[in-house]
């Protein structure tokens, strides 16, 4: 089984930065595509960023392009989300997810417990 544990969330002022980490259990981390999702109060969960198994391909939702960077270190079984120039609208619970290549982010994906990011104005 895969267990994902997020960390690095917290309270930050607008314009500040945070780096989220997601540590994965298991020895097959490199087989998974990894993603970061977020859910704000009263909103549906949305994908923020994703990265393929090798780190050679990334995806970002338009609202975070140029501000957020997803990366992974397969040797450490860890995926990161560097968040710069944070805005109040980035406030949400952030979740990491893992999915085998080609399976998407549906019911077969693994999910972390989430970490709160709060951006004050």
pLDDT (tens digit per residue) in 7-64: 999 999 999 999 999 999 977 788 899 999 999 999 999 999 999 988 899 999 999 9
Strands (E), the chain: 4-7, 10-13, 18-24, 32-39, 46-51, 58-60, 68-73, 78-83, 92-100, 110-111, 115-120
What's residue 68's pLDDT?
98
What's residue 16's pLDDT?
98
The mean pLDDT of the chain is 94
Look up tokens 């945070």; give the residue.
Answer: 18
Query: How do beta strands 18-24 and 4-7 pair?
Result: antiparallel
């Amino acid at each position: 089984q895969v267990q994902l544990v997020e960390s690095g969330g917290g309270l930050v002022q607008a314009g500040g930065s945070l780096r989220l980490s997601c540590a994965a259990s298991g020895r097959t981390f490199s087989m998974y595509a990894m993603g970061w999702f977020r859910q704000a109060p009263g909103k549906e969960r949305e994908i923020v960023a994703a990265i393929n198994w090798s780190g050679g391909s990334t995806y970002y939702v338009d609202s975070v392009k140029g501000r957020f960077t997803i990366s992974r270190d397969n040797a450490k079984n860890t995926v990161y989300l560097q968040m710069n120039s944070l805005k109040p609208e980035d406030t949400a619970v952030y979740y990491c997810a893992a999915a085998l290549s080609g399976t998407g982010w549906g019911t077969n994906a693994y999910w972390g417990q989430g970490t709160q990011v709060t951006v004050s104005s």
